[in-house]
Structure 1
């Protein structure tokens, strides 16, 4: 869980919030879902259609696949093929969704939105809940079969520095979790860490995303720059503080384990026994291996 805290030397990059997305995607892959179908992927580019991955794996000779993969994963991939973010068309507008599992054959199967607050907890708490409700209606309206989730990261100091706001947020998340026409799962993650002297006044370490042009078509249109080497990476990693997750501050119905189990079970319940065999095996469910295509 070290990755869910921000780098003290880089508080405004959004790395902390994106790390929460990366961790959730990692847990979905650990549950047995197809790695390239879960976005963000563990490596650049973060979003790549599963059909493109299947094409790369099927190309012979291997040098053709390696050449094409190098182009897709390089600094200047073809426009509209890979992306840094997953932009999903909802009922009324396009929404950048933080954690997604999708393929051409199934459409979106998992849509998880994440928010994070590490300081100034009462400043925009109501706005975060209102945004969550609006996003749920928009995404649910077009993708009723997808497992829809909302994960909220709230630093543990909220419960001592602004206990009223923290308790209000927990109560609102529980109410949101009980709504029958909103999310299938709502989770609360409470990281505990101490880094004196650098936490800013911003209520969230994720910069607000720029508005999407409503006339743009949804798809993989933005290109993530190839990651650059991070100066003094080992030193910066070594300076990060120890972090724990405060399960005692999280109600059982909002715990990360309950949240992830609900998302996984929703997907398996909504799909045929021939799909997601590895996830079914890990969950102790019956499954049928799909027949190989000859």
Structure 2
């Protein structure tokens, strides 16, 4: 008798459909626009973010499953593809396996169809070849391994972009500040080994903190702003405030980590467990099942009035992309460079969408 798929496996099936629908045929919209003065700015796809944030609520997934935080990871990697970066280079990928090194992708493109099918079967197996595919990326910092949520890395350049995400929906008084403080140490660990990589931090926070702990919310926002100004920490930091109804809340334990991550596992303390063994469970769900799930996603709001301008995702993603482009030769990331050059004026963009 078939076992019931995990909550994370169900979530991936819905996440994949949402991002596929947002980029029909793999064609992503250009996020870059210019104002009347010619200044370049980035316009994130918040409609897709809202849908992704609704998935863990639809599945009633507690943060211990990692699904709520995963919604942020999926959206950020999708935005990197909108920016023009290669779909296989921005991890997590939009299909399993989520982590696939560039040389493996190159090999798949050069073998025969029969060989390609056999290789995909191995890569998508429950236990793929060690180091060839994985569901999470572990990056060595100065002193320890760190599981990084959104990554761009290749053999020639090494890590080019590293984004850590955290999410907190409850237990604000006990855990909210701890997640930020831990991230500061993680930033130094990664920055010291990879000084040229664009290093970012995104914090997802439920809007109820402003009613339950307004002083904590004010202090946390100030801390996030300062975290992005340190010369030896993150290049940019973003805050996403998430608002949804109380009837959609999932009960959490008082010692909830906030994002389903184990700090020891993130640091590479696995015992006998290999860092690449956390493979994704593949789930076959019918188109009808996934479509019904998307149609039934609960409402989510993004109250941007709560977020200072310097912590908003538009500025954050623009800075991450700029740093990657500035740190590489002009013949690398050609599509990402071209999309910035082809940015439409906001007037033309509005006319095109009417």
Q: TM-score, normalised by structure 1?
A: 0.89
Question: Which of 183, 186, 192 is equivalent to 1:135?
Answer: 186
Report if aligned partners of 1:189, 1:256 keep a CA contact under 8 Å in 2.
Answer: yes
Q: Secondary structure at the match of 1:190?
A: strand
Matched with 2:166 is 115
1:206 corresponds to 2:296: no
Equivalent position of 1:254 in the other structure:
311
1:20 matched to 2:77? The reply is: no
Matched residue, 2:57: 7
Pairwise CA distance, 1:179: 1.0
- In structure 2, how many angstroms separate the alpha carbons of the residues matched to 1:254 and 1:260? 10
Of 94, 99, 102 in structure 1, the residue corresponding to residue 150 of structure 2 is 99
Aligned pair 1:284/2:336, yes or no?
A: no
Q: 1:50 is matched with which residue?
A: 102
More helix by percentage: 2
Q: 1:182 to 1:43 in 2, by over 3 A?
A: same
Residue 68 in 1 paired to residue 113 in 2?
A: no
Aligned to 1:185: 236
Shift of 1:233: 5.0
Equivalent position SS for 1:283: helix
C-alpha deviations, 1:102-138, integer Å up to 9, x for none? 0001100001111101112121122112101100110
**Alpha-carbon contact 1:119-1:199 (below 8 Å) kept:** no
Is residue 127–residue 279 contact of structure 2 (8 Å, CA) maintained in 1? Answer: no
Aligned counterpart for 1:221 among listed residues 276, 293, 312? 276
The CA distance in 2 between the partners of 1:230 and 1:55, in whole Å, is 29
Residue 57 of structure 2 aligns to a residue whose secondary structure is coil
Displacement of 1:198: 3.3
Check conservation: 2:66, 2:261, Cα contact below 8 A: no
Contact 1:195 1:241 in 2 (8 A): no
Counterpart residue number, 2:325: 268
For residues 144-159 of structure 1, the aligned pairs below 5 Å read: 144-159=195-210
Deviations 1:136-193 (A, max 9, x none): 1100010000000000001122112221111111010011111111111100111222
CA distance in 2 between counterparts of 1:268 and 1:158 reads: 37
Output one character per residue of 1:57-83: Cα deviation in whole Å (capped at 9) or x when no partner.
Answer: 111x22211221222123332223111
Deviation at 1:32, TM superposition (A): 0.5
Distance 1:185 1:214 in 2: 28
Aligned residue pairs total 284
Tell me if structure 1 keeps the 8 A contact 2:127–2:277: no
Change (3 A) 1:56 1:253: same
Gaps of 5+ in 1: 286-294
- Choose the corresponding residue for 2:82, options 25, 30, 53: 30
Deviation at 1:10, TM superposition (A): 2.4
Cα separation, 2, equivalents of 1:269 and 1:79: 33
Root mean square deviation, CA, Å: 2.4
Output the CA distance in 2 between the equivalents of 1:145 and 1:220. 25
Equivalent-residue separation in structure 1 for 2:262 and 2:270 (angstroms): 17
| Shift in alpha-carbon separation, 1:225–1:266, aligned structure 2, 3 A | closer
Q: Distance in 2 between matches of 1:251 and 1:99?
A: 23
